[in-house]
Amino acid sequence: MRQAKVTPLPEGINLEGETVVITGASAGMGLETARQMLRLRCSTMVLAVRNVSKGEECVQQLEQDPVIQSNKPTIKVLKLDVGQYDSVQEFTKELQQKIEAVDILILNAGIGRLKLERSPTGHEETLQINYLSNVLILSELLPYLEASAGKTGSPTRISWVGSRMHEKGHDFEKKGPFRSDDSVFARFDDEKRFSRFSYANSKLLCAMFMYTLAPRLDPTKIVLNMFCPGMVNTNMSDYLPLPLRVVFEGVKYLMGRPIEDGGNIYINAAVVAGPETHGKYLYDKDIQPEPSTYIKSTVGQVVQKRLWEETMEEMKKITTLPSEFC
């Protein structure tokens, strides 16, 4: 079945004077969203990228756009390797030193894996990149983002890219009973327990974390939401083995949205959607009224509680946690 048609963005969006930070911004949806926001007169764009040289090439590409060129924005490239904690901390420190205030933060960087590969932290890569490093970014930046709201006079917007697959694509229920003393992280890190559904599993953790954190935040300072743009024609499937990639490329050809539509959905979540989306999940542009059936279930609540505890234990080893996390 084809995906629903994406409705146009409202007319008159003007991001003049606003500063936007996008992680994973050197390709795919990150770069496309940066392009669209710059065309909407965003004044300062921060591209957070693993490869700085590639990021600088993206700046040159963006500046060739006649509309962006006429708006004369400031485009900065900051190094961020979300596979490494020290790189995350160097990025958050540099961001605070170089940028006075942030209006919009889009947590976009993410990967998928079909076999266990470890990041330099020792954790399985999808767990590290899709979940843990994003939590560390929030841990390090939350006081700064709250202070940004005081300077700009409006809540700082944090939009985290999720996936519909967190609802039914995960296999937490199929991996055996989950006890209150079980380790969430072990389901990724242990070779014997690793799952080819690690992408969907990692997005489940992201959703659970968002649902736990949002009620602890002051929505007059921070509006946090999570969204899924559906299947978009990007290079996200490049990690798949060739036979699977061929199949997936065929599915994307038939069903995938143009990348411009994906950017439209990103901008809706980060700019258009109001404070009513705080602590909510958006499928395309539709607010989901409540968490998924699994997250609401008794076992899902056990996993969510254990995830928070385990995540806080991990973060305390690395940084000083903001009060909202304690």
Residues marked active site are found at 199, 203
Bridge-based pairing of strands 19-23 and 104-107 is parallel
- What SS3 state is found at 20? strand
Strand partners, 23: 48
Query: Any idea of the CA torsion for 209, 210, 216, 218, to the nearest 10 degrees?
Result: 160
- What SS3 state is found at 27? coil
Token pair for 176: 């055996």
Q: Which residues of 210-240 are buried (b: 16+ CB within 10 A; e: fewer)?
A: bbbbbeebeeebbbbbbbbbbbbbbebbeeb
Residue with tokens 């690690």: 198
- What SS3 state is found at 39? helix
CA distances from 104 to 126, 154, 155, 224 (A): 24, 11, 9, 10
CA distances from 323 to 135, 140, 141, 216 (A): 14, 12, 12, 9
Give dist(CA 123, CA 304) in Å, integer: 19
